[in-house]
Amino acid sequence: MGDEKSSGGCIAAGRGFFHINSHGDAEPCPFSPYSDINIKDTSLREAIHSRLFTSLIEGDYLQEDHARGCVLYEKRDQVEALLPHS
Ligand code: SF4
């Protein structure tokens, strides 16, 4: 989605935007269906600072270079391990 290289990496997960799906789950972006928080239970401010988003940003998942496609999909095993049920 977009040109992550010119943006200094992926800007999902609250770096620039995030996505709320039809169930209220806050996800990094529409193409990354990972969530650990639901806006029915929390505020938007808390959602944008969710444990998952914070881990993705502070763990430098989003800024790593990737050849094509989605940086989080390329690391889906590691991303899924960050989720509470993993
Ligand atoms: S790299 Fe993945 S998570 Fe980031 S904006 Fe693109 S599709 Fe979404």
Each residue's pLDDT, cut to its tens digit, for the chain (86 residues) gives 556 767 778 999 999 999 999 999 999 999 999 999 999 999 999 999 999 999 999 998 998 777 778 999 999 999 999 998 65
- For residue 19, list its beta bridge partners: 27
Block residue for tokens 């430098």: 60
The protein residue whose alpha carbon is closest to atom 1 in ligand 1 is 70
**Does residue 72 have its Cβ closer than 6 Å to ligand 1?**
yes
What pLDDT, on the 0 to 100 scale, is given for residue 24? 98
User: Dihedral (C-alpha) 44, 17, 27, 56: value to the nearest 10 degrees?
Assistant: -110
Tell me the CA–centroid distance for residue 9 and ligand 1, in Å: 9
What pLDDT, on the 0 to 100 scale, is given for residue 71? 92
CA 52/CA 27 separation, integer angstroms: 9
pTM confidence score: 0.89
What pLDDT, on the 0 to 100 scale, is given for residue 2? 54
**Does residue 12 have its Cβ closer than 6 Å to ligand 1?**
yes
CA 75/CA 23 separation, integer angstroms: 24
